[in-house]
Amino acid sequence: MLEPQNSPPARDDLIQRLMHAMWSAGQAMKRDVAPLLAREHGMEFKHYVLLDRVASGALYPRELSTCLALPPSHISRVLDELSGHGLLRRSLDPHDSRRVRLEITPQGHALLEATRATMTQVVEQGLAAFSLEEVRTVTSALERIAAAMQESGNGPCPQPQRPEELEESQP
């Protein structure tokens, strides 16, 4: 006999499957993308993630720490590496000199654009068997999950910009 769709055991099983699928997809992405980013762009995956978050609007180290759930000391080390490679600048916030503001350099924007193109190709390969409508549905569902989980956590993190928004924000 089948359980009703909304019964707790059926929902719990789906949630477990969803969590496993999300974790597996993230692990596969890191496993496949990290060596590719290093080989093609000389960039580590952690550098990509931080640059992407700054480009999406996380302009302060504390925001990055909160959004990525990483200790401030770890964020600081990665920001030092990005600054050392000329990809990111730190400056005093013009509205609050107690805060350090992050800004991606033109070199950082160029590298971020190239790495995004590489990552898009990798993800496209993984989604080759899906229709555009299926990709839209999955994307929408994951965005809703992320938004709901952020609301129940430490508040919203800046969302990645869509391509048309990126073009408008480029220097």
pLDDT of residue 169: 45
pLDDT digits (tens, 9 = 90+) for 90-111: 999 999 888 999 999 999 999 9
pLDDT digits (tens, 9 = 90+) for 17-61: 999 999 998 898 888 888 999 999 999 999 999 999 999 888 899
- Phi/psi at 153 (nearest 5 deg)? -105, -130
CATH number where 47 lies: 1.10.10.10
Instruction: Note whether residue 163 is domain-resident.
Output: yes
Instruction: Note whether residue 120 is domain-resident.
Output: yes
Domain boundaries, position 102: 32-169
Domain count, the chain: 1
Instruction: Note whether residue 26 is domain-resident.
Output: no
How large is the angle between the packed helices 106-126 and 45-55, nearest 10 degrees?
110
Task: Give the predicted TM-score (pTM) of the model.
Answer: 0.76
Strands (E), the chain: 88-93, 96-104
